[in-house]
Structure 1
Amino acid sequence: MGWQLEKALNERLARETGYVVHPFGSRHTMAVCYPNTYETGMSNLGMQIIYREVNSRNDFQCERAFLPDKKLKKIYEKEHSPILTLENKRPLCDFEILGFSVNFEMDYFNIPDILEAGHIPVRAADRTETDPLVVMGGPVAFFNPEPLALFMDVCLIGEGEELIHAFLDAWLQAKADGAGRQELLRRLARVEGVYVPSLYHHVYDDRGNLMRIDAEPGIPHRVRRQWHELTRPGETVVATPDTEFGSMYLIEIARGCGRHCRFCMAGYCYRRPRVRPLEYVKAAVLRGKKLGKKIGLMGAAISDYPYIDELVTFIRQQGLAFSCASLRADSITPVIVKGIAESGQKTITLAPEAGSEHMRNIINKGITEEHLLQSIDLCTAAGIRKVRMYIMIGLPMETDEDIQGIVDMTRRVREHMDRIGNKSSITLSINPFIPKPMTPFQWMAMTEQKVVERRLAYIKKEAGRIRQTEVLAEPLRQCYIQGVLSRGDRRVGELLLKAHSYGGVRGWKRAVRETGFDVESFLYTPRQTDELLPWSVLDNGLAEDYLIREREKAEKGEFTIPCFEGCRRCHVCGGTNGDTVD
């Protein structure tokens, strides 16, 4: 390691508080890696929680690594160095376990880059007894790990606070018994929530359809997703100014969502709505205050937190500013609005997702135009004047009338803002719908790109005629790549590997061409509800016909009420799906 690299890593560490360093090798070693830059990765609370859990043990040390940013990459290349961890500045290949926290599809492209730069064989099948065990956690593992199965030895299926300890305990026992790599994998596969892809064989017919997933003898046919009851802390572990949320002390106040939005993977993968006790959250706020941080409240729908008004009042009484990860227009309150206005927020972000009542009924959004206008009234009165609205296009069963509904809704919002004396801007943030596994829309086709392009162009043209209105849209190319990665099977791993050889996402089109992967058929052909899906080995606790029933309700535009105490409709909170072994 050259002096420039050591200096850069030490400077980054010097700006942190809360990190842990043990002499390397004084305990068993694990590195946790976020497959994106430090700025992005250290904004992820889940990775920090796992870092804390592993370092809380007396038999393991956990260090962190990230994809180098442009500046750091130049130093690595100049010094011909492998990727190093922050704490002890060791190559990833020196660790016994390498864990990836994977949250977003476009980060898939970075994983083979990191493995190669960490001097670890990229393919799991090529690793030997002396190579690290490569493990994946994070929401991607919950809903469809198959596109990354080529690279992963183990996937942790579920929330990690307790699962990570069950996994490490089983790893330690197998090592103590002298188990080799293959026996280690077999033992790990018997731990609830641990999925070992190499022990499950995907069988295809002559047309390339997935026919069977065969578990090896003695291995569970299905892997049951694990939940955590929020009994452990959920707040910033390592504080640093060098991230997107560097000024904030992040606190998870709730997990899961019971709103049943039919497009939302997070809503189904974190289906059990759970809240942290108010007294815990207040104590966490005070810990953030000691660090001089703004409070960042994390959760699926912050305004649904049952004690939100009392919590906001407490935060403001402490003289602290705060920010929210998300708000719902139908549960926003004057106390919340007043608090975020006093915290300096200038824009309210609302997510109607669709412009027409017809489309919002299909996706089960549960937001009306009246809710939007009432939220804008509250915010305008408090001094929050700019409005941003999240919209999806290309949703299942969408028509041109639904696209016109987006324009008409925006015009009515503009007229309403003018009537109440709010002359500030409206921003429409528009993205195409991407079908996600484990949701009622997992069988749906994506709308053809040329149709989405036409509809987006129409919205932009019409919105340009509405005063003080702008349209922002994610690049469509990336969205359609995400559409492949989201529902891909193991063959997509080969596509990723080929793209890696041509520079990652830049090599995607060439990789598709050379592998002969039929992207259009994959994206635009609906799946059958009796079709075997690549992620079928995962058991997320839902009743087997629940997603089908929700899809049928979507087709009829029928509403599903939110979760309630004692609800047993989907079985996540009550029913069980049996697990069998050969």
Structure 2
Amino acid sequence: MSWQIERKLAERLADETGYYKYPFGTRRAMALCYPNTYEVAMSNLGMQIIYREVNERADWLCERAFLPDKELAALYAKERSPLLTLENGRPLCDFEIIGLSVSFEMDYFNIPAMLEQGRVPVLAADREETDPLVVMGGPVAFFNPEPLSPFVDVCLIGEGEGLIHSFLDAYTAGREAGESRQALLRRLAKVPGVYVPSLYRHEYDEDGRLRAIVPEDGAPASVRRQWRELTGPGETVVATPHTEFGAMYLIEIARGCGRHCRFCMAGYCYRRPRVRPLEYVKEAVLRGKRLGKKIGLMGAAISDYPYIDELVEFIRSQGLAFSCASLRADSITPAIVKGLAESGQKTITLAPEAGSTHMRDIINKGITEEHLLHSIDLATAAGIRHVRMYIMIGLPMETDEDIEGIVTMTRRVQAHMASIGNKGKITLSINPFIPKPCTPFQWMAMTDQKTVEKRLSYIKKALDKDKQIEILAEPLRQCYIQGVLARGDRRVGQLLALAHQYGGVKGWKRAVKELRFDVQGFLYTERPVDAVLPWSVLDMGLDANYLVKELELARKGAFTIPCFDGCRRCHVCGGGDGDGMD
């Protein structure tokens, strides 16, 4: 290791509070890798929670590795150094297990690059007995891991706090028994929530459609998603100033959402909704206070937290500022916006997702324009003058009238702000809809890119000249690559592997052409509801017909009420004990 790389890693570690560091070789060793830079990775609370869970065991140590930023990448290239972990500066190939925490599709391109730089064979099929076992967790692991299946040996399906321990226990037992790599994989496949891609054969028909997923070597026919009650800690483990949220102490106050928005993968795969006890959250706030941090509240719908007003009042009584992600316009309260304003927040972020009642009914958003205007009233009264709204275009069953509805809604919001003396800015964050696995829209086609470009252009032309309105949009090329990755099968994994050879995301187009992958047919063709989907082997605990019924309700614009105590509609709760096995 060059002294320059060593110094940079040491400086980064010295700025942290709460990391674990054990002498290498005193325990079994796992490297936890996030396929993006340190600044992005250390803003991910899920990765931090798993880092703590492994390191608090008596038999394992866990170190971290990240995609090098530009400065570090130049040093690595200059020294031809393998990718090193932060704690002890060890190359990835020195570890028994490499854990990948994956949350976003565009990070897929970084995974083969990190493995290669860590001196680990990129393809699972090329790994030998002494090579590390590559294990993937995080949201995409249990939504649809197939595009990454060429690179990983094992996927953890579900929430990791409990699952990581049953996995490590089985792994340790297999290693102590002297099992071969293949025997170890068969052992691991018997652990609830563990999916071993190599033990499942994908069969295609003559038209190239996935026909069947066949388990081999005694692997289970399906792998059940694991979830648990929020009994363990859910807050910042390693505090560092060098992240997107460096000034914040992150606290997860709730997990899952019962609102049934039909486009939202997290709403279905993190079901059922759970909340952390208020007393625990208050204690976590005080731990953040001792570090001198602002409080960052994490959860799918912060304003739905049943104790939110009391929590906000407690945070402010401690002289602390707080922040949170977008708020639901139908559950926002005066206490929330007052607390945000006192914390220095200048913008209220709302997510109507669509501009027309017709479209919001289809996606089951459950909020009205009146909810939006009321939220703006509360924010304005508290001193928050700017409004940011998340909008999707290209939604299923969308019409030109729905696009006009976005413009009309924005103008009505602007007029309402003016009527109450608010001269603040409106920011529209507009992105194309991407169908996601395990949702009622998983079978739907994406709206073709030219249509989305036309509709986005129409919105910009109608609103862009107004200096009080700002329009932000993600690059469409990336969105349509995400569309392929989100619902791809193992053939998309071949695309990723070839794109890696050609330089990563910049090699995508060349790989598509060389493999003659029909991107347009893949994206723009609606799939039959009885199709075998790449993720069909994964069981989210939903009733077999539930998503089909929700799709039918979407076509009718019918409303599905939120989750409630005693609800048995989707069968996730089903009277079980919360271990994912009900």
Q: What is the CA distance between 1:575 and its match in structure 2?
A: 6.7
CA contact (8 A) 1:225 1:539 kept: yes
CA contact (8 A) 1:249 1:288 kept: yes
Supply the distance in 2 between the matched residues of 1:448 and 1:129 (Cα, whole angstroms): 46
User: What corresponds to 2:495 in structure 1?
Assistant: 495
- Provide the aligned length of Structure 1 versus Structure 2: 576
Supply the distance in 2 between the matched residues of 1:230 and 1:190 (Cα, whole angstroms): 25
User: What corresponds to 1:64 in structure 2?
Assistant: 64
Q: Tell me, what secondary structure is at the counterpart of 1:337? A: helix
Q: Could you list the per-position Cα deviations for residues 269-303 of structure 1 after superposition, in whole angstroms to 9, with x for gaps in the alignment?
A: 11110000000000000000000000000000000
User: What corresponds to 1:579 in structure 2?
Assistant: none
**Structure 1 residue runs of 4 or more that deviate by more than 4 Å after TM superposition:** none
User: What corresponds to 1:107 in structure 2?
Assistant: 107
CA contact (8 A) 1:303 1:332 kept: yes
Supply the distance in 1 between the matched residues of 2:397 and 2:323 (Cα, whole angstroms): 35
Q: Could you list the per-position Cα deviations for residues 491-537 of structure 1 after superposition, in whole angstroms to 9, with x for gaps in the alignment?
A: 00000011101110001111100010000000000000010000000
Partner amino acid for 2:124?
A
Supply the distance in 2 between the matched residues of 1:218 and 1:458 (Cα, whole angstroms): 55
Supply the distance in 2 between the matched residues of 1:192 and 1:210 (Cα, whole angstroms): 25
Q: Could you list the per-position Cα deviations for residues 455-506 of structure 1 after superposition, in whole angstroms to 9, with x for gaps in the alignment?
A: 0000000012545111110000000000000000000000001110111000
CA contact (8 A) 1:411 1:466 kept: no
User: What corresponds to 2:22 in structure 1?
Assistant: 22
In structure 1, runs of 5+ residues without a counterpart are: 577-582
Q: What is the CA distance between 1:217 and its match in structure 2?
A: 3.7
Supply the distance in 2 between the matched residues of 1:219 and 1:123 (Cα, whole angstroms): 21
Q: Does 1:281 align with 2:281?
A: yes
Q: Could you list the per-position Cα deviations for residues 334-390 of structure 1 after superposition, in whole angstroms to 9, with x for gaps in the alignment?
A: 000000000000001110000000000000000100000000000001110001110
Supply the distance in 2 between the matched residues of 1:529 and 1:161 (Cα, whole angstroms): 33
CA contact (8 A) 2:202 2:213 kept: yes
Supply the distance in 2 between the matched residues of 1:325 and 1:161 (Cα, whole angstroms): 23
Q: What is the CA distance between 1:325 and its match in structure 2?
A: 2.2
User: What corresponds to 1:304 in structure 2?
Assistant: 304
1:249-268 matches, cutoff 5 A:
249-268=249-268
Q: Does 1:513 align with 2:485?
A: no
Partner amino acid for 2:158?
G
1:69-108 matches, cutoff 5 A:
69-108=69-108
Q: Does 1:124 align with 2:124?
A: yes
Q: Does 1:379 align with 2:371?
A: no
CA contact (8 A) 2:362 2:558 kept: yes
Supply the distance in 2 between the matched residues of 1:432 and 1:195 (Cα, whole angstroms): 31
User: What corresponds to 2:475 in structure 1?
Assistant: 475
Q: Could you list the per-position Cα deviations for residues 148-183 of structure 1 after superposition, in whole angstroms to 9, with x for gaps in the alignment?
A: 000000000000000000000000111111111000
Q: Tell me, what secondary structure is at the counterpart of 2:20? A: coil
User: What corresponds to 1:139 in structure 2?
Assistant: 139
Q: Could you list the per-position Cα deviations for residues 307-336 of structure 1 after superposition, in whole angstroms to 9, with x for gaps in the alignment?
A: 000000000000000001231000000000
User: What corresponds to 1:534 in structure 2?
Assistant: 534
In structure 2, runs of 5+ residues without a counterpart are: 577-582
User: What corresponds to 2:429 in structure 1?
Assistant: 429
Q: Does 1:327 align with 2:327?
A: yes
Supply the distance in 2 between the matched residues of 1:314 and 1:196 (Cα, whole angstroms): 46
Supply the distance in 2 between the matched residues of 1:523 and 1:53 (Cα, whole angstroms): 39
1:122-271 matches, cutoff 5 A:
122-271=122-271
Q: What is the CA distance between 1:557 and its match in structure 2?
A: 0.1
Partner amino acid for 1:434?
I
Partner amino acid for 1:462?
A
1:527-566 matches, cutoff 5 A:
527-566=527-566
User: What corresponds to 1:504 in structure 2?
Assistant: 504
CA contact (8 A) 2:326 2:351 kept: no
User: What corresponds to 2:569 in structure 1?
Assistant: 569
Identity of aligned residues (%): 77
Supply the distance in 1 between the matched residues of 2:482 and 2:464 (Cα, whole angstroms): 29
Q: Could you list the per-position Cα deviations for residues 194-238 of structure 1 after superposition, in whole angstroms to 9, with x for gaps in the alignment?
A: 000000000111211111111014211000000021111000000
Partner amino acid for 2:570?
C
| Aligned-pair Cα RMSD in Å | 0.7
Q: Tell me, what secondary structure is at the counterpart of 1:218? A: coil
Partner amino acid for 2:192?
E
**Segment drifting more, 195-204 vs 467-476:** 467-476
